[in-house]
């Protein structure tokens, strides 16, 4: 009986933690997501459009090839859905998890998109905060 109560408590605690909303800022800009971020194998995945807009970057989606290109300053990021490989300024990088489509939105690993666009991430008072490298 005690073991089953402990298991139920642990499952409830994990579920509550995962159901809490992931909050993201790019410097002082609160990122507005059309769908809530989610966890995939312990990786925070965020809808791409919201983060790109908050960074002031531009994006192009090729539906036929399922490719995404993002430009932020002098950086170019290219990747294909469902592949962990990406190119950042023509240098190959591996993502923690492959980007995917969910409810007509592209989800990407938060840490990858931040680093690729020239940001560092920190966690501050319940927020993921992205700041340009060197600030």
| Spatial strand order in the sheet of 67-72 | 58-62, 67-72, 75-80, 85-88, 91-94
pLDDT for res 21? 78
pLDDT for res 22? 87
Tens-place pLDDT, residues 86-122 = 999 999 999 999 999 999 999 999 999 999 999 999 9
pTM over 0.75: yes
pLDDT at 77 over 90: yes
pLDDT for res 20? 52
pLDDT (average), residues 6-35: 67
Rounded CA separation 90/70 (Å) = 12
């Amino acid at each position: 009986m005690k073991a089953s109560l402990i298991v139920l408590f642990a499952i409830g605690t994990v579920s509550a933690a995962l159901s809490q909303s992931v909050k993201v800022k790019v410097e002082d800009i609160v990122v507005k997501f059309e769908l809530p971020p989610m966890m995939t194998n312990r990786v925070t995945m965020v809808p791409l459009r919201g983060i790109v807009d908050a960074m002031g970057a531009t994006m192009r989606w090729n539906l036929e090839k399922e490719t995404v290109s993002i430009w932020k300053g002098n950086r170019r990021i290219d990747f294909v859905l469902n592949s962990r490989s990406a190119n950042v300024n023509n240098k190959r990088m591996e993502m923690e998890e492959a980007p995917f489509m969910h409810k007509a939105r592209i989800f990407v690993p938060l840490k990858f998109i931040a680093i690729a666009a020239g940001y560092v991430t920190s966690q501050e008072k319940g927020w993921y905060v992205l700041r340009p490298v060197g600030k």
